[in-house]
Structure 1
Amino acid sequence: MTKKYAYIGCLGLIAVITTEFGIIGILPQVAAHYQISIDKAGYLLSAFALVIALTGPFMTLLTSGIDRKKVMIAAIFIFLMTGIISAFSPPFWLLMTVRILPAFLQPVYIATALSVAVSHADPDKKNELMGIVFNGIAIATVTTIPFSTWISGMYSWEYSFVVQAVVSFIALCMIHGMLPRMPVKEKKSYGSQIRILTQIPFILSTMTNFFMITAWFSTYSYFADYLNRAKEMDTSMVSYMMFLFGGLGIAGNWIAGKMLNKNVSRTTAFFLSGTLVVPVLLYVAGGNLWANIVVIAIWGFLYSPSFLNASTYMISSAPDSMEFANSLATSFGNLGVTLGTTLGGWIIITMGVEYNPWIGCIFGLFAFLMMFLKAAAEKKRRVLSACRN
């Protein structure tokens, strides 16, 4: 039964991620339609992420006492409305508005879906079940996101939002029909949850998350534009690369879920190494098509578990406040999306899209530094605890 809940959560996350990141594959077309620059079109992604970053923890706290099924249905319904309205190519200000609205409940959905998935699980199975939910990111990357990019190339960019609406509708039906009512039996006090913000290891794990996601999204936010300009691939080839990227991402997510059960820090560090390795490989591959295909496969494998790793890494520092810790992971991850997208857009305008991956190297090193400092802080705390005893 627990796995069933995890798969339902995964389906909803596919809808959420298709809406949030489906815009990546059509940014050039949206920019052309509204006659704006690519960095301004990127606001459709960065503004979404910024709202999540600023409101996620508060929304999660406010909804922590509401029936979890109702919360998940409300969140997916708003995502459905966003897809429908966006498909009619409204004025840019309205497109931006309806893109922002579901962002208020995105972290609430993820935190709730994870909580539901592990609610009846054995401790040694929780990371694996979280991996199933987070597979929604990789599955969306390999299916709905490239499909919406492909169909927008075949017809027009508005069809990408039709795909998003259809996926949200299916997820809404499945949650409504297959998930039982889940009233919250014991609501934790706000104070007991907020207390984790005073713990140094948790703060450092939060910064690791922030720098890691910033590193990845400085280039991934402009995936289509990067492959168009730096690697000279057309829209059709970009959609195929998205399929490949996501396909390897599913494998990466599955393997990461298994590895996290054994060692959270080493798993996080292993996949984080991609922020340092992938830019070098992209540079070495140059214009060689087959070499780039191999690098994109490696990129997808190492990138896709980033949200799973970030959440697990943070939750491991605050196991008694899972939902709030995960909402913070989602918020700071999306703050990383905002910063990565903003910096990436600035680099494109000032230097050229081929330089974007090197931002990932810089922030990847910052993330490793935070991991080192967290390990040092935990070691110091253990030593002090031993001395007191």
Structure 2
Amino acid sequence: MKFDKTLFVLALGVFGITTTEFGVIGILPELASVFNVSIDKAGWLLSAFAIIVAVFGPLMVWLLSSYDRKKLLILSLVIFAVSNVLSSLATNFTFLLIVRMLPAFFHPVYWSIALAVAVENTAPNQSSKAVSTIFSGLTIATVLGVPLATLLVDVLNWQSSFLLSALLNIISLIGLIGLLPPIKASDKKEEYSKKTILRKPILWLNILLAFCIITAMYSTYGYMADFLKSVSRMNGKEVSIMLFFFGITGIIGNRMVGKYMSSKPFETTFIFLVALIGVHFLLLVFGSYFVPIIVIVGIWGLIHTGGFLISNVSVASSVPEAQEFVNSIFTSCGNLAVTAGATIGGFWIVHFGIQQIVWSSILLLGLSLVILLVKKVLRWK
């Protein structure tokens, strides 16, 4: 029960930082309009954050690995809260972009510690369930944080969305301070002296698979609000409800993946990829119809949310003896993939139109399926 409490407190922090990172997804059209920039340029509010994480993730984890891990978690949330307050005060796009990048340096620190603690304190056959609890913070951010940020823009203003993220960071911070037990620093010398870690072919193949999966996910999802407004012709309140519905079904999907990923990793990943390809085809065909898109969004959320968990378990299982370092690599990979997804999605919108954006995801998911089958042929887990 004590460890269960630790997992849920760590997930609360993930909820706070994920709302900060992805809360802009639902308000990109509004921010593009307010600051007089194109929608693909506004997408850099998401991708610039991710670039910082991708470039500096492993380095930050390595530099700070000898410090008290609870204090690092608290410091990370403080920086996230301050950044959101500054974002609400932005008067131009450049300033907003810069202050959005500040907490990105500590994003991988929080994620790596949380995921490592989950795996280190769980039996091997239960590790994916523990990780799924941590990822539930991401899912709940999708359920509450992103749609609330979108709704506040429609009801109040765009500044209130960033203030909401700051409030969530503060609530998470209070939870960490009051409920999280001390977490000793990792053994830096032991963990990072293994020169063979980065020489494992299975690690790089799983990183490539994770990169393709997450890029595919965010190529379309990163512009979900714009798709629903432009193609499905929904207003701001309807879009926020759809984002909420997307996240609600995602909670179920996340738990399902956590249940089966440890025992049946190949089958779970294969079904996920095929199902997500199918959903994107449905978006292409029925995206402009109001009632069908409601059903499709629910199915989309059910499937989509498991992608991060599947990717993390695949990468982390490559090097079980160095969880914190490998999780920092995964965090960098995941955020680089988010950047790639936002960039590809923006490019697709500019050159082919918002309705055709799903093809970018379909092609990348097809590539992911090929990589998974290569792993199967090579008998790599």
The TM-score normalised by the length of structure 2 is: 0.96
Distance in 2 (alpha carbons) for counterparts of 1:346 and 1:127:
35
Question: Map of 1:308-319 to 2, 5 A cutoff?
Answer: 308-319=309-320
Compute the displacement of 1:205 (Å).
0.3
Report the CA distance shift for 1:151/1:194 in structure 2 as closer, same or farther (over 3 A): farther
CA offsets, 1:103-138, max 9 Å, x none? Answer: 111111111012223333222222111101101111
- Alignment correspondent of 1:21: 22
Quick one: distance in 1 between partners of 2:44 and 2:287? Answer: 29
Aligned equivalent of 1:284: 285
Query: Is the Cα–Cα contact under 8 Å of residues 31 and 41 in structure 1 kept in the other structure?
Result: yes
- Paired position in structure 1 for 2:198: 197
- Distance in 1 (CA, whole Å) between partners of 2:139 and 2:55 is 25
Aligned pair count reads 380
Aligned partner of 2:171 in structure 1 is 170
* Aligned-partner residue type, residue 204 of structure 2: I
Tell me the SS of whatever aligns to 1:181: coil
CA distance in 1, matches of 2:319, 2:199: 11
Deviations 1:135-157 (A, max 9, x none): 11111111121011101111111
Unaligned stretches of 5+ in structure 1?
A: 383-389
Q: CA deviation at 1:371?
A: 1.6
Q: Work out whether residues 200 and 377 of structure 1, in 8 Å CA contact, stay in contact via their aligned partners in 2.
A: no
For 1:337-348, list aligned pairs within 5 A.
337-348=338-349
Q: Corresponding residue for 1:305?
A: 306
Please name the residue that 1:245 is paired with.
Answer: 246
8 Å contact 1:251–1:301 — kept in the other structure?
yes
Helix, strand or coil at the partner of 2:173: helix
1:9 touches 1:117 (CA, 8 Å); kept in 2?
no
Correspondence 1:130 to 2:131: yes
Is contact 1:75–1:109 with CA below 8 Å preserved after alignment? yes
Give the corresponding residue for 1:386. none
Q: Write out per-residue CA displacement over residues 213-255 of structure 1, whole angstroms, 9 at most, x where no aligned residue.
A: 1111111111100111111111111001001100000000011
Structure 2, unpaired ranges of 5+: none
The alpha carbon displacement at 1:344 in A equals 0.8
Partner deviation per Cα, 1:257-290 (whole Å, 9 max, x = no partner): 1011312222222222244111211122242222
Whether the aligned pair in 2 keeps the contact of 1:117 and 1:129 (CA below 8 Å) is: yes
SS at match of 2:322: helix
Deviation (angstroms), 1:319: 1.0
Q: Which amino acid aligns with 1:283?
A: L
Q: Structure 1 residues 14, 188: CA separation in 2 closer, same or farther (over 3 Å shift)?
A: same
C-alpha deviation, 1:375, in angstroms: 2.9
Provide the residue aligned with 1:320 in structure 2.
321
Task: State the secondary structure of the residue aligned to 1:320.
Answer: coil
Aligned counterparts of 2:343 and 2:335: Cα–Cα separation in 1: 12
Which residue of 2 is the match for residue 359 of structure 1?
A: 360
In structure 2, what is the equivalent of residue 98 of structure 1?
A: 99
Query: Does structure 2 retain, via aligned residues, the 8 Å contact 1:209–1:333?
Result: yes
Query: Residue 227 in 1 paired to residue 228 in 2?
Result: yes
In 1, Cα distance between the equivalents of 2:306 and 2:241? 20
2:226 is the alignment partner of 1:218: no
> 1:222, 1:60 → 2: CA distance?
30
Q: Secondary structure at the match of 1:180?
A: coil
Bigger mean CA offset, 260-269 vs 160-169: 260-269
Structure 1 residues 373 and 194, CA gap change in structure 2 (3 angstroms):
farther
Aligned-residue offset at 1:185 = 5.7
Call closer, same or farther: CA 1:172–1:191 in 2, change over 3 Å: closer
Are 1:329 and 2:338 an aligned pair? no
In the superposition, the TM-score normalised over structure 1's length comes to: 0.94
Distance 1:215 1:4 in 2: 33
Cα distance in structure 2, aligned partners of 1:180 and 1:25: 35
Cα separation, 1, equivalents of 2:95 and 2:287: 40
Q: Say if 1:138 and 1:249, in contact at 8 Å, map to a contact too.
A: yes
2:154 aligns to what? 153
1:85 is aligned to: 86
- Write the letter of the residue equivalent to 1:178: L
Q: In the superposition, relative to structure 1, how do residues 26 and 286 fare at CA in structure 2: closer, same or farther (>3 Å)?
A: closer
Moved more, 329-338 or 111-120: 111-120
Q: How far apart are the structure 1 equivalents of 2:33 and 2:228?
A: 17
Whichever residue aligns with residue 43 of structure 1, its letter is: W
| CA RMSD after TM alignment | 1.6
Tell me if the contact between 2:191 and 2:325 (Cα under 8 Å) persists in the aligned partners.
Answer: no
Query: Once the two structures are superposed, what CA deviation does each residue of 1:156-215 show, in whole Å capped at 9, x if it has no partner?
Result: 111100110000000111111111222226334464455322111111000000000111
